Chains A and B, each alone.
Chain A
Amino acid sequence: TQLLEQSPQFLSIQEGENLTVYCNSSSVFSSLQWYRQEPGEGPVLLVTVVTGGEVKKLKRLTFQFGDARKDSSLHITAAQPGDTGLYLCAGMETGGFKTIFGAGTRLFVKA
């Protein structure tokens, strides 16, 4: 069974701090997606990365896909309370249609 492991599971930081969350697997993915989910709502797509080594920026969020397409990271600069939420990574298996979701990193940013 393919697994996507996210770390850390929980993170509580002060406003203005930087943080990085990780998404790791032993499997190769054709693409990897990051979502943010707020309580009582569905996940919202933040970014999709496709090419090994690819880096995408979304304002204060920087996403990187590993060179071997097995892992990814999300870095947030100067976190804001509005960044609070559950961050999910999801990898699409190579040659198939199945997407594997990680269990998520729950981030809390204190004002």
Chain B
Amino acid sequence: NAGVTQTPKFQVLKTGQSMTLQCAQDMNHNSMYWYRQDPGMGLRLIYYSASEGTTDKGEVPNGYNVSRLNKREFSLRLESAAPSQTSVYFCASSGQGVGVRGYTFGSGTRLTVV
């Protein structure tokens, strides 16, 4: 099925380790996003890419970096993981403008930092 694919689904890291979360979409969407979801706090935007070749900070960018590799792929990197980064991470994409008509989300990566 067409959509947004994220890998891995689950990951446990030790404090200080690094990792990259991968995301790919096959809907030819221009815009892609990384969100984190924590209990009682809703989804918070980490970084977004309005179009291929551009990236911008969202609400909670500290401790993260992103790469828009091409139109399909948008990765999120944690350089030195901290327990505060324990969360569920969602990649999303949108076609018409930046999220104007809604987002298509991946199924998430559940990350635990110990």
Q: For residue A45, which residue of chain B has the nearest CB?
A: B102
Which bracket fits the contact residues of A? Answer: 20 to 34
- Residue contact A98 to B45, C-beta cutoff 8 Å: yes
Q: Which residues of B contact A43 (CB under 8 A)?
A: 43, 90, 103, 105
The count of chain B contact residues (Cβ–Cβ below 8 Å) is 26
Q: Which residues of A contact B99 (CB under 8 A)?
A: 92, 97, 99
- Residue contact A99 to B45, C-beta cutoff 8 Å: yes
- Residue contact A103 to B107, C-beta cutoff 8 Å: no
- Say whether A82 faces chain B, with CB atoms less than 8 Å apart: no
**Residues 77-111 of A contacting B (Cβ, < 8 Å):** 88, 90, 92, 97-104
Docked CA distance A43–B90 (Å): 9
| Closest beta carbon of chain A to B109's beta carbon, Å | 10
